[in-house]
Amino acid sequence: VDQLIKVDMREQVINVLPQQVITKDNVGVTVDAVIYYKVVDPVKAEFEIFDFNLAATTLAQTNLRNLIGDKQLDETLTARDHINTSLREVLDEATNPWGVKVTKVELQKIDPPQDITQAMSQQMKAEREKRARVLEAQGIKEAAILTAEGDAQAVKLRAEAQASAVTQVATAAEKSFTPRAESLKRLEVSEKVLGDGATKYVIPSSADIVNVLNLDGGSSVLPIKKKS
């Protein structure tokens, strides 16, 4: 008599119970995992293995001990993805003769002892505080640099403004004093011309003495000789 056997070919899950595993640096950690699989060959799955769940769980626990035993604690904590991939490949190869495909393996937890957890927490706290101090120091340094650059720019602008003001004053002074100096020079010349006292000149009260004396190339007045 033929007997029909129903085989579920949907993806299924096996929970690997927590177990104590020793790392390469002799630290005991508690690990557990979840295995995702599906039957791809119902005949093999039914006749090649008696209890697939038990067999898969045993394989997972054994290979977890091997994988984690080859790693230091720090590496174990940071290499979760690598451990997942390695364990899946090992289980998939081992279960292939049973008509089963292991699709994914995930470590649920990797728990070190309480004292190591506390030490790691303190170390992480110290690292965070160190980074915070470094960032604060960098901020203070950058602020000081910006302040110094701002002060230097302000000094430069003030110096440029003062130099411009001095230049403007010098230019104005030159424009003001040059004609006066020329007039003074001409007056000195006129003093020499008129200094003998022998000749009198009639000059209108509104006339420019420099122009009258023809010291700038203008018209001159006629001299009037004194009567003896």
Interior angle at CA 227, CA 225 and CA 228, nearest 5? 125
Instruction: Report how far residue 60's alpha carbon sits from residue 34's, in angstroms, rounded to the nearest whole number.
Output: 9
Please check whether residue 44 is in contact with residue 98, taking contact to mean a CB–CB distance below 8 angstroms: yes
The answer to whether 106 and 84 are in contact (CB under 8 A) is yes
Whether residue 201 is predicted with pLDDT greater than 80 in this model: the reply is no
Q: Which domains does the chain have, with CATH numbers?
A: 12-118 (3.30.479.30), 186-225 (no CATH)
pLDDT at 143: 86
In this prediction, residue 92 carries a pLDDT of 92
pLDDT, one tens digit per residue, over 93-134 is 999 999 999 999 999 888 887 777 666 667 766 777 788 888
Q: What is the reported pTM?
A: 0.51
Cα→Cα distances 26→75, 113, 131, 155, 190, Å = 13, 12, 30, 65, 116
Q: Which residues pair with 104 in a beta bridge?
A: 36
Say if residues 32 and 15 touch (Cβ distance below 8 Å). Answer: yes
